[in-house]
Amino acid sequence: MPKKNLKMRVVVAPTPTVIAAAYDENGKADACTLAFYSPMEPLASAVKRAAAFIEDIRHLPGNTLISTHAIAMKGLLEVLTPGSEGAYWSKYIGNCAVYAAENASGIIGIPYEIL
């Protein structure tokens, strides 16, 4: 296929980005895929962020709902479970997993899975 002169479009993305485009024999765009490459956050970093988050919410009265992705949830479980030493990293946590933990005057208990 002969090379085509294409109009440039600006893409602003939070991570390195790959744009793949396919064109038919007449040079008309047939498909376009925008893919973001985001390397996995180091586990130590996830635990550090989780610990800072727990300190921020520890003082809140009543129940607190936290909705997050599996790696962040594992970090939270690591922080809230004394002596876990990485036990949660190999544990499967699904997209709809729900954990609960009691907060008694800023002392947050060990989380347990409820769904």
pLDDT in tens, 25-80: 776 655 555 555 566 777 888 889 899 988 988 888 878 888 888 888 889 999 99
Give me the sign of the Cα torsion angle 15, 87, 44, 114.
Answer: positive
DSSP per-residue codes, 30-78: EEEEEEE--PPPPHHHHHHHHHHHHHHHTT--S-------HHHHHHHHH
Print the domain residue range for 62. 43-113
Is position 93 within any domain?
Answer: yes
The confidence score (pLDDT) of residue 81 equals 92
Is position 32 within any domain?
Answer: no
Is position 103 within any domain?
Answer: yes
Is position 35 within any domain?
Answer: no
Model pLDDT for residues 49-64, shown as the tens digit of each residue:
899 988 988 888 878 8
Residues 109/78, Cβ–Cβ less than 8 Å? no
Per the structure block, which two tokens stand in for 9?
Answer: 């479009």
Is position 59 within any domain?
Answer: yes
For the whole model, what pTM was predicted?
0.61
- When divided into structural domains, the chain yields a total of 1
